[in-house]
Amino acid sequence: MYVLVTGGAGFIGSHSVEALLKIGARVRVLDNFSTGKRQNLPSHPNLEILSGDIQDVKDISHAVANVTHILHLAAQVSVQDSLVHPTKSCSINIQGFVNVLEAARKHQVDRMVYASSAAVYGYPQQLPIAEDDAVHPISPYGLEKSVNDQYADLFHSLFNCSMLGVRYFNVYGPRQDPKSPYAGVISKFIHFIEQQQPLTVFGDGSQTRDFVFVSDVAKANVAALRSDATGVCHVATGTSRSLLDMIQVLSTCIGRELQVIHQDAQAGDIPHSAAHVEKLAQALGVQCSTRFEDGLRILLKEVLGSKG
Give the contact letters, 60-89, x = binds to ligand NAD (CB under 6 A), - = no: -------------xxxxx------------
From 141, 151, 168, 172, active-site residue: 141
Q: Is the peptide bond before 128 cis (omega within 30 degrees of 0)?
A: yes
H/E stretch holding 193: helix 185-194
Q: Give the whole-angstrom CA distance, residue 3 versus residue 102.
A: 16
Active site residue 141: yes
35 near ligand NAD, judged by CB under 6 A: yes
* DSSP string computed for 9-28: TSHHHHHHHHHHHHTT-EEE
Rule CB under 6 A: say whether 168 interacts with ligand NAD. yes
Query: Smallest Cα–Cα separation from 97: which of 121, 120, 115?
Result: 115
The yes or no reply on residue 170 touching ligand UD1 (CB under 6 A) is yes
Candidate list 164, 243, 284, 299; residue touching ligand UD1; CB under 6 A: 243
Kindly state whether residue 79 participates in binding ligand UD1, applying the rule CB under 6 A: yes
* Among the residue ranges 30-38, 199-207, 290-298, 299-307, the one whose residues contact ligand NAD (CB under 6 A): 30-38
Q: Report yes or no: 295 and 173 within 8 Å, Cβ to Cβ.
A: yes
Contact string (CB under 6 A) for ligand UD1, positions 186-225, x = contact? --x-----------xxx----x-x----------------
- On whether the CB atoms of residues 260 and 199 are closer than 8 A, the answer is yes
- Measured N-to-C along each axis, helices 96-106 and 57-64 cross at an angle, to the nearest 10 degrees, of 40
CB-based contact 132:184 (threshold 8 Å) = no
Q: Which is nearer to ligand NAD, 6 or 192 (CB)?
A: 6
In angstroms, what is the minimal distance from the CB of 115 to ligand UD1?
Answer: 12
Instruction: Tell me which of 204, 269, 293, 302 binds ligand UD1, using CB under 6 A.
Output: 269
Residue numbers annotated as active site: 141
